[in-house]
Amino acid sequence: MPGPTLQAHDRPPLAAPARVLVVTAHPDDVDFGAAGTIAALTAAGVSVSYVIVTDGHQGGEDPSLSREQMRQLRREEQVHAAALVGVTDVRFLGEDDGSVMPTLDLRARLVGEIRRARPDVLITQSPQRNWSRIQASHPDHLAVGESAVQAVYPDARNQFAFPHLLDEGLAPHAVGQVWLMAHPEPTIAIDVTETYPLKLAALTAHTSQTAHVPDLGDRVRGWLAANAALAGMPPGRLAEAFFIADTA
């Protein structure tokens, strides 16, 4: 199966995986960090699923909306944004926004999601704080990234970890790679110039979070252009950056 253009620095191009699971803290996190890559993957026939740990009830700028209304709105926005980049499998774990911790319970839930989706690649948030982009290192992001990495190794592949999952028919599964968004030292830049319009459309679908940002497109384009320049891509190219860990 031909994959998207995965133009890297310090390593050869990557072939598209067959299945990808994205695990993030909040609705819109995947769209800020990886929607261009996701759009390229789904266009190449890759099966992509999302797991969103919270409903993002602390987000938004409108105090007239109740927090329960915000939960529902942000779920709807994320499902719509996902569809724009070719993803229809979106699951929400319903944890409280702003309160996520890397607990054993969250780890078990993520192990279950990994065994359900059985991905070759898991995309999640960096558990390492990025001091050059502090906004990308929300405490929920760090907690979800740490929990997801722990779920990949050692638990998802270990039949003796969380044995109740076996009773639910969820057999062990080893994830081949983890791709970390917003890592302070990315190892790959994926060219998303052609899918940038879809990324921007997905971000715009999060109306409660982005409608008040008139220069959203310029900001996002600037971030992506900086990633591409750091990776040595020609002027005018746009890229999303990840740290890749081999975990098989």
pLDDT tier at 107, thresholds 50, 70, 90: very high
In terms of C-beta density within 10 A (0-12 exposed, 13-18 middle, 19 or more buried), how is residue 91 classed? middle
Query: Given this model, what pLDDT does residue 64 score?
Result: 84
pLDDT tier at 2, thresholds 50, 70, 90: very low
What is the average pLDDT value for the chain, to the nearest integer? 93
Q: What percent of the chain has pLDDT over 90?
A: 85
Query: Given this model, what pLDDT does residue 4 score?
Result: 45
Query: Given this model, what pLDDT does residue 60 score?
Result: 78
What residues does each domain of the chain span?
21-246
Report domain 21-246's class: alpha beta
List the one residue out of 104, 95, 103, 85 whose CA is nearest residue 46.
85
Distance CA 222, CA 234 (A): 15
Per residue in 144-180, pLDDT (tens digit) is 999 999 999 999 999 999 999 999 999 999 999 999 9
Is 0.85 surpassed by the pTM of this model? yes
Q: What percent of the chain has pLDDT over 70?
A: 94
Is residue 244 within 8 Å of 121, Cβ to Cβ? no
Residue range 137-146: mean pLDDT, rounded = 97
Residue range 114-124: mean pLDDT, rounded = 98
Residue range 226-230: mean pLDDT, rounded = 94
Between 11-20, 92-101, 233-242, the lowest mean confidence (pLDDT) is in 11-20
pLDDT exceeds cutoff 50 at 1: no
Query: Given this model, what pLDDT does residue 194 score?
Result: 96
Write out the DSSP string of the chain.
--------SSSPPPPPPSEEEEEESSTTHHHHHHHHHHHHHHHTT-EEEEEEEE--TT--S-TTS-HHHHHHHHHHHHHHHHHHTT--EEEEEEEPTT-----HHHHHHHHHHHHHH--SEEEEE-SS--TT-GGGG-HHHHHHHHHHHHIIIIITT-TTSSTHHHHTT------SEEEEET-SS--EEEE-TTTHHHHHHHHHH-HHHHTT-TTHHHHHHHHHHHHHHHTTPPTT--EEEEEEEE--
